[in-house]
A = this chain, B = another copy of it.
Amino acid sequence: MLNIAITAGGTSEHIDGVRRLTNISTGLLGWYCLETILDYFCAEKRSDFHVTYLFTETAFRKALDKEQLPFVDFVPVTDAESVYHAVDALTKSVPVDFFIHSMAISDFTLAYVASTEELAKEINSLPYSGDAGATVREVLENPENRYSLTEKIPSDHNIILGLRRTQKVIPLIKRNNPNTFLVGFKLLKDVPEEELIRVANQLAGENGCDMVFANELAQLGESNHLGMLIRSGKVVDRPIGKKQIAEAIVREMMKQGGNK
């Protein structure tokens, strides 16, 4: 039995009841990976596989054929923290063979919202100290005067959003399942190809990715989305278009261990 996991879409961090911190991920690439995997096992006439599909609210989805449904579990997630818990739970309960981690997970979540004016007052009321500024920083990290996160933020003053880093999800995967074949994704902006390859290799090294799809922000269109599939530090494919990227990923992935 092959266990496959896919994450898709972009997370959404709660700011107040109506406002959100989001990103541009559409979830299309993850969806095409799912379709390609279902097609692959259908063509091979195999039913010894199962896919867990973690997706966010805005991620692209469409109806699957009725015969395909039993092979897929759909798991909805919302913000970075919910993805962390879902991936941790999944990788602790299932020996995942292949993990395609295409979700764009927010690096930051909301720590507080404060009125700029009130935050300035709070800092000004600090006792003067000539030291390295730990106190001002403490206020900036965690002010007393802030809006309640359950109210709708009033719109009559300029505001400050304090954001703190979220826990990285990707290191969990190999930590919980060292034998997983892990496909990571790296999106950078305005960097030359060598730098993109260097950063992709770094991601692979730090988080145990067996393969990384690396791409550049200006090259993200559905039909002309292009990037490099990198394995053991080498570019093994340069697919163009999201569907072709998904096919290249699944093809390379299945070369290794598709018969487990």
Contacts and interface: CB of A to CB of B under 8 A. Distances in A.
A141 interface: yes
A23 interface: yes
Interface residues of A, number: 51
Given A58-B58, A116-B140, A20 B18 contact: no
Contacts of A152: 187-189, 217
How many copies of the polypeptide does the oligomer hold? 2
Contacts of A163: 158-161
Given A22-B22, A155-B108, A189-B152, A140 B165 contact: no
A129 B217 CA distance: 45
A215 B189 CA distance: 41
B17 A217 contact: yes
A121 B141 contact: no
Interface stretch (A36-44, A131-139, A242-250): A131-139
A24 interface: yes
Given A21-B21, A58-B58, A123-B140, 14 more contacts: A15-B21, A19-B21, A20-B24, A107-B153, A116-B140, A116-B162, A120-B136, A124-B136, A128-B128, A150-B189, A152-B188, A152-B217, A159-B163, A160-B163
